[in-house]
Each structure stands twice: as C-alpha cells, then as structure tokens.
Structure 1
C-alpha cells in the first residue's frame, strides 16, 4: 500500500475510504472486471485502467449514449484513471510493467495464456512481485475450457440459468442484464478484499481465479442445490417460485401487484385481508408444501379476490398486515421508488455541473460517504498524470 495522502496529491483526487492507499492495475475490459474494479475505486482504491489503443470494447457498445459516450462504458468505469498502451510496443510494455510494480492488485480478463509473451501473466508478475494480488477472470476456467469465449450470454446458457428463466411453455430466456458478469465481478471484488486481508496477516500476495460458469452456478443457489443435493430437474416457472407460493405477480382491478409470501403466517394474513380466510384453513393451502402442490388453483382463487380492487388500494392494506407486496416497476419506476424511500439511487460522478449521472455505490459506510469525484475517463485521458506519478519516488 502507498500513503493515501501522497496518492491524493499525485492524482488531485481525495483518496479516502476503506481502501485508501491501495493501488489497482486494471487490465480488464467489458463488464465483470471493470465492475469489480469500479467497486474497489469507489471504496477509495487508486484504479489505473489500462486499455488497448482502440479502447475498452464497451466504448463502442451503443446505443444508448450520453453525448458521444456509451452508457454501457459509463456504467462501470467511474473513479478510474485511464491510459492506453500497446503491449507490442516496447515503451508501452515497459509502462505496463511499471504500473504493475506499483500495484497492490492486478485485475485481468485476457484469454488464458495471452499475457505470457509480454511477461504480464500471473506467474511472471508474481515471481517479480510476491506481495502482488492477481485476480484473473475467465469464461470457463484455465483448463479444458480455456479456449471457450467468455461472454455472459454463453455462461447464462451453459450454466442452466436460461433453462429456469421464462414461461413454462416458452423458450429458455436470458436475464435482462448481464447478470453472470455482475456476479463474477462481485466474486472477484470479494476475493480481492479477502486476499488483501490475508496479506495484512502474512505479507504474501496470491492469485485469485474467478470464472463465469462457476459464478453462475453459485448464483443459481437453491436451483443448483436442488440438482446437486436432491437430483431434481428444475424448469421454467415464469414468475413463480419453485419452493414458495404465492410468490409472484397477480392481476388486480387495474394492474399488477407482486405478492411474496414466505410462510404460513403471512399467508393467513393475506387471506384475511382479501376476505378469504377459509383458504388459510383449506388443507390444500394451509402449508407451504400443500400450496406448492396446488399452486395453479391457488393463483386463480387469489386473482379472483384481488380483482375486486386496484393495486394501489391493496398495497397499503397488505403491507399493514405484514404481507410482503410491491409494485411491478420499470427501471425508471424502480429509481423513482428508491428516491421516494430516501435511498438516493442516482449520484453524479465528476465535477458538479459537468459530471456524469450514475447509480450510486450500493454500500453505505458509517465512516463517511463514498466519493464520486472522478467521472468515467475518456480514452487515454490520464496518461500524463499517470506517467508523472510513475516517475516519482515509489516510497
């Protein structure tokens, strides 16, 4: 780690937070790696984003755009300092090695073996820098799956996630966001934090490996457990839950209300509010296993009762009775709801009046707020600042 005050002076940005003084050499691109490094940057780490001369692929993933910048790129690259390097150029390669030498953490998601000819592979850099933590992200590991392309859609398909997503009579469906990339990024960030803690104890760095397929299987939680522990074969249930009922959207007099009953007590309260207390006493619905066995009939009976009032009328009644329920929003509605609850979902990264609106860091720290003083960088935008920093005494 480097003195946080010295980094703040060198980069003209406050370096504070739980990771102040940690330097991250970010050789990743697209989503999983950049999401992980953005979380680290939000926590106060200095993240140096190294891109090819053509830039991160997501700079060209448009529409939509803000000005001339891809909103995809903007979503995962705030609070970072960027420069472009061509590893085939000897001078640029030397700069890359100097960045790694200053780093506590290196993050990369190159195809396995691609960095070896540049001496930037994990084995080579850790031999030179034993305290360095190297986080490698791949699609399907470094073994037999090393040559398989690591795209989120492929991982959603290969893991079985798509097989449990969608309507029962419809085709397998991907999730509406690159959720496996996000899971892998979260896992990488957690692994890095664990490795930093271990290094505080014994002084040694280590390599962390995260792959999309294992991240997806871990993220399948109860569905994967059903296969591994019980030999079950989960399938698509639309918006229903394989183990809970009622736990899905319901039609009301004017729209949709989502009801999420997690136990028999909540179900009894639901039935009382709906004016159908007899359902809670019916042996077909009195327990969760029974409700699961008769879920289609239960859904029809509850829908019949719910259609007597609008969703906005049912929601406060059910909430007051302790029945979990909520609206079915679009993303804009979700943001408005978070604003109404005081969760401050949107912040501005960069100078006031000239920053980029972005979704705030998901963690709150009692020690102080997260800084959003650095907007997502333009291509090669921070080259001179980074090179001046590299020219200073590393102590």
Structure 2
C-alpha cells in the first residue's frame, strides 16, 4: 500500500555502533550524535545524517546515560559499574576525567543555566550534584532506591529524579539541592522528561507500560496513558504536542498525542530500543537499539500534518538509495561468542540487603535472570 500524496512516509537509516547502545545525545553543530555502549564500555560518535560511526572512546564500566554540554564542549556519561561520571572532550574525543559519585550511577540531568550535572545513583539511593566547569562534586542528596533518570524544570528551578525501585519521583531544589518531597507514580518509573511550556512532567512507567503525566505546578499525577510493551526512553516534542517512547518490549518507536493520550503511530525500529532524542533543527528522531547494536535515524514525516501523516505512514526507503524489503530492517549482528556456553561465575550485591549473592546458589535449579538497566 502506498501512502497518499498528502503524507510523507518515514525514512529509516540504521548505524551499527558498539554493544548494547543506550543513552543518546546530539551535537548539531558538528552533525554528530553520541551514544553510550554499556556492553563494550565505550561512547561512540556517529554521523547524524546517516554516514556511520565517526569514533569511539573507552570510559568506565557500563556507561548508561549521555549528556552533551555545548558551552563547555564536553560529553558526560555515568559509568554504572565503576561508580564514576566520565568526562570527554568533544573536540578531540579524548577522555578528560572521571568524577567519583555513589553506587551504580544510571541517570544524568543537565542544568545548563546553573552549570550543574545531576547524577541519579540507583544502588546508592541518592543524587550527586557536580559542577560541570570545575568537575567538582557539590553535594550528595538522598533520593530513594533505584534513583536514575533526571529532568530539570527551568521555570521553578526544580529537579525531578525517578526512583525505579520505589515507584516515586524525588523533587529537589536546584539551588540548595534539598529534597522537596516525593511524587508517587506508576510501577518502575524508568525515564522522565519535561515539557516546561505545558507544565507537564512525563514518566515512562516501564512495568505497567504506561506514560504518566504529572502537573509541574501542583506536583500531582493528572493522567496515565497506555503504551504497551515496556517503555524505557521518552522524549517530549512540545511543538507537535507529542511524546516519543522507545518501547523495549515491542521494538517500536511509539508516538503519543499529549492532548488525549492517543497512540498516533508505532514505528518498528530495532531490537530493544532504549533511548530516544529528536533534533530541533531538522525534526529527525534518533533511537538507540540495545538488542540490535545500532542507532536508528527516523526522518520525521509529520511537519505539516503530524497526526494524519503519523498514522498513514506505512513504508519507507533508506535515504542512502538502497531499497529495503522491510524499511525497518536492522543491520545483521554476529552472535556473541558466549552464546551457548556455560554461564560464567559471578557475584553481585543484593540491592536490598547488600549481601553478596553468587550464581552457585542456584546451581542445578531452573531460574530466570532479568537484567534491566534504568536511567
């Protein structure tokens, strides 16, 4: 079926990057994107226009979120298994420093006006505040278990930290770093994003597959929209009154109407999508696919009539001229050499008691391992 002439169809380009890509940040001036790759312990630079990988730099173990500071021209990533924030020079793509934080940092938020970086420490149940210019830790503020993704409201000067294991959002004062209270939301809030103009905070409740809506002025949950699957990453696009959700469960980019919660489109991207960002200058959307080891570039077809075009988009052709039998086909990735091998020995701290647990405890039994990273 061919889309009508009044609607443009989405165009997909897939760029192979490192292992398990998660966090995304954009550098429009250089036409670069940055993606963290937790399984290969690196940050990768890629061409925003679909030309492939441009470079890579080793950081700490299991980097999850990525932030780009255009004023300082630096890239920041939180290394969950190293308990550090790595700092990268964007001009040279060299590692500049690693700032110690608390246990298992899995989320970052950047306040460009105050020149502060907020780091959500998942196992440390806290938020670390860093001066991005001096690279100094300013404060450690208690949050709750599973502290991760962070969003900043520039209007009221408040910081919102999602607590994945506690089903709450901790609210902090951006100037004093003091806690202002908690907002109870849906199960497993994995990502938060803000639409300051509409005075809304959107929350990806991953375990109940919903998009929570919080009124920033009252601090109350005012709505909850079904998404389906397991939403992990979200990003608001106020100009079109939509929120993009990376649905890890279905492998789709979900477009949600913020006026009534209607699903406008479900666009298959790659396996295990995790983060989603959009470029203000071009309107193009980028999605990281942890299971496909790729970043998908989706040329947004909704500029003139976003809702009709989103629902009518049915097929696409990659912009490099190579036709795809399936427009969202992802690049082939060789299986990991450990697949099919005996499970290696490992030990991890229990997130509730702190006790070290080893795989030997379940030897000879049937069990399920559920690895879920939140930021």
Q: Same fold by TM (over 0.5)?
A: no
Q: Could you state the TM-score of these two structures normalised by the residue count of structure 1?
A: 0.25
More RCO (CA 8 Å, sep 6+): 1
Select the structure that is richer in helix: 1
Q: Could you state the TM-score of these two structures normalised by the residue count of structure 2?
A: 0.26
Asked which structure has the greater CA Rg, the reply is 1
Select the structure that is richer in strand: 2
